[in-house]
């Protein structure tokens, strides 16, 4: 997919916030079959921290809310970057953060909330609540039993729709779980990349027709293109 060119943006409309795409260490799992988002990481902590500091310096604090993403989990960001984030939160009067984390870090969320000192909306890449498809096809390494278990730790699931092998029934179930158990969520319409996992165009179009009402739902962000958040 190449290295992202744009690392800072502002999201307007739903849940207005500034968003920064930072660099971290390689994803601790890194084996999801649909993900080729592997070039945007590194092992040189000083170089990554310097780049991340440049990006974070663009944060104005005007919206009072900041989202930080990277090619893995927030726990894989350099320690120097996490310290810079603490400063940004304090100096720019950030009142809320959005972070993303893999299921494997679920027991570390409370410590991160305490460290940053402001409310954190923790996102998680669930992809689907259909356990067999999630583990056998997508290889997510997230073996939770049900959406209620996810909701005990995380605030906002990220779901994927329009994948070959996925069914309408799976998507219906995912949307039902999203609205029933979570206050916020993101739905990504799958886009082809360099992996063998391919988009089901008919299924994607069906979703956009049946669930067009989600576009007006203030609690759900639907991403039709992977760069819809303005970074990447």
154-184: per-residue pLDDT in tens?
A: 999 999 999 999 999 999 999 999 999 999 9
Contact 163, 34 (CB under 8 A): yes
Say how far apart CA 50 and CA 68 lie, in whole Å: 16
**Residue 191: what pLDDT?**
94
**Residue 13: what pLDDT?**
83
Residue 93 domain flag: yes
Write the pLDDT tens digit of every residue in 49-78: 999 999 999 999 999 999 999 999 999 999
Give the confidence band of 1 by pLDDT, cuts at 50, 70, 90. very low
Q: What is the pTM of this model?
A: 0.93
The CATH number that applies at residue 34 is 3.20.20.70
Total domains in the chain come to 1
Residue 2 domain flag: no
Residue 105 domain flag: yes
pLDDT > 90? residue 10? yes
**Residue 225: what pLDDT?**
76
**Residue 102: what pLDDT?**
97
For Cα atoms 228, 219, 232, give the angle at the middle one, nearest 5 degrees. 20
Residue owning tokens 């799958």: 190
Write the pLDDT tens digit of every residue in 179-229: 999 999 999 999 999 999 999 999 999 999 999 999 999 999 999 875 555
In sequence order, which residues have a C-beta less than 8 Å from that of residue 72 and are 6 or more positions away?
24, 25, 26, 27, 28, 29, 30, 41, 102
Say how far apart CA 232 and CA 212 lie, in whole Å: 25
Write the pLDDT tens digit of every residue in 108-154: 999 999 999 999 999 999 999 999 999 999 999 999 999 999 999 99
Residue 212 domain flag: yes
Residue 1 domain flag: no
**Residue 4: what pLDDT?**
61
Give the pLDDT mean for 22-40: 89
The residue range of the domain holding 146 is: 8-223
Give the confidence band of 39 by pLDDT, cuts at 50, 70, 90. confident
């Amino acid at each position: 997919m190449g290295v992202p060119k744009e690392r800072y943006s502002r999201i307007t409309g739903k849940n207005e916030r500034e968003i920064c795409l930072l660099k971290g260490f390689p994803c601790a799992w890194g084996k999801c079959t649909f993900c080729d988002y592997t070039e945007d990481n590194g092992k040189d902590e000083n170089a990554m921290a310097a780049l991340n500091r440049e990006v974070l310096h663009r944060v104005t604090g005007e919206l009072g809310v900041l989202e930080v993403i990277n090619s893995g989990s927030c726990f894989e960001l350099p320690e120097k970057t996490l310290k810079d984030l603490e400063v940004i939160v304090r100096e720019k009067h950030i009142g809320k953060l959005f972070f993303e984390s893999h299921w494997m870090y679920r027991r570390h969320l409370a410590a991160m909330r305490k460290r940053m000192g402001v409310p954190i909306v923790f996102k998680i890449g669930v992809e689907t609540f259909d356990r067999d498809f999630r583990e056998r096809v997508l290889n997510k390494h997230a073996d939770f039993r049900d959406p209620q278990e996810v909701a005990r730790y995380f605030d906002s699931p990220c779901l994927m729709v329009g994948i070959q092998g996925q069914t309408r029934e799976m998507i219906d179930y995912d949307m039902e779980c999203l609205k029933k158990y979570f206050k916020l969520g993101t739905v990504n319409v799958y886009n082809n990349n360099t992996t063998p996992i391919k988009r089901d165009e008919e299924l994607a179009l069906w979703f956009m027709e049946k669930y067009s009402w989600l576009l007006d739902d203030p609690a759900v962000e639907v991403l039709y293109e992977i760069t819809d958040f303005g970074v990447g």
